[in-house]
């Protein structure tokens, strides 16, 4: 029997609908999101446009700050300082990657942790690690929602995360630990990747290599979350998992596109709402 498809678009739509309802109950307080993009990367521009559309749909006030690639670090820091002080802005998102001449770590540290809806500020990363209230990075938070949508209890399951990036791999592993999974992180130096993957009840793959995880590397009945988005040819998008093979083995699997992608923006909307609520509590 083929795996059940985890429909990220449908689950994300439900989250956005709940966010819109909660915003209507805030009694005149409108959450605000500022998105900052430096440079003219086409993919990033499309993503920024999708975020604006999502904000409009749920009732979030949005600002876009699209800066030339030659923008200096000082100019970017000045903009972030202004946004930190702007009472209309609940959340600030700096689109990554930044141009090489800008220190990414310094920029992320400059964002007010209370407005860091991406969850990348060191304060928020530390809070996530110790289990304190914080903003979970959007893609990892979405991954947990996708896993829970299957109805499978994460507690006690063996989870394997392939990829150790600060944006996806590490925070996903932290969130899985918080759900009481037994977690293994695999990376380029892992000696027997196939062995590790094949023993996973929950397999999350975020490595950026087209169809690297094949069907014979997956435990029968496993939940497979494919974070990868790789372009093959001019139009086709494929994941880091060989979907055609994996769907014959897994119990549940996310498609590419239509799996993790929609969840990232939905969780951003949820984090922006949470930021607005926290600002009310200050």
What is the set of active-site residues?
51, 95, 118
129 to 29, 36, 153, 174, 240: CA distances (angstroms): 31, 27, 21, 6, 27
Identify each DSSP E strand in the chain by its residue range: 4-5, 32-38, 61-67, 91-94, 158-162, 182-186, 202-205, 223-226, 230-232, 236-238, 252-253
C-alpha 194/C-alpha 175 separation (Å) is 23
29 to 118, 273, 279, 281: CA distances (angstroms): 21, 10, 10, 13
C-alpha 252/C-alpha 8 separation (Å) is 12
């Amino acid at each position: 029997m083929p795996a059940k498809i985890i429909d990220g678009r449908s689950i994300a739509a439900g989250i956005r609908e709940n966010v819109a309802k909660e915003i209507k109950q805030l009694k005149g307080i409108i959450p605000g999101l500022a998105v900052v993009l430096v440079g003219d990367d086409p993919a990033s521009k499309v993503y920024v446009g999708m975020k604006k559309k999502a904000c409009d749909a749920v009732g979030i006030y949005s600002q876009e700050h699209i800066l030339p690639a030659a923008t200096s670090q000082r100019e970017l820091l000045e903009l972030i300082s202004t946004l930190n002080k702007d009472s209309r802005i609940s959340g600030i998102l700096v689109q990554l990657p930044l141009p090489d001449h800008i220190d990414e770590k310094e920029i992320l540290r400059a964002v007010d942790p209370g407005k860091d809806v991406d969850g990348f500020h060191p304060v928020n990363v530390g809070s996530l690690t110790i289990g304190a209230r914080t903003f979970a990075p959007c893609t990892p938070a979405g991954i947990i929602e996708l896993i829970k949508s299957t109805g499978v209890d994460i507690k006690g399951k063996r989870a394997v995360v392939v990829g150790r990036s600060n944006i996806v791999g590490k925070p996903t592993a932290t969130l899985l630990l918080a759900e009481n999974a037994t977690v293994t992180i695999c990376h380029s130096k892992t000696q027997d990747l196939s062995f590790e993957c094949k023993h996973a009840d929950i397999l999350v793959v975020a490595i950026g290599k087209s169809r690297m995880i094949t069907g014979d590397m997956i435990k029968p009945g496993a939940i497979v979350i494919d974070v990868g988005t790789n372009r093959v040819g001019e139009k086709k998008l494929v994941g880091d998992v060989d979907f055609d093979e994996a769907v014959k083995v897994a119990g549940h699997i996310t498609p590419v596109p239509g799996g993790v992608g929609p969840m990232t923006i939905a969780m951003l909307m949820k984090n922006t709402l949470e930021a607005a609520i926290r600002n009310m509590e200050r």
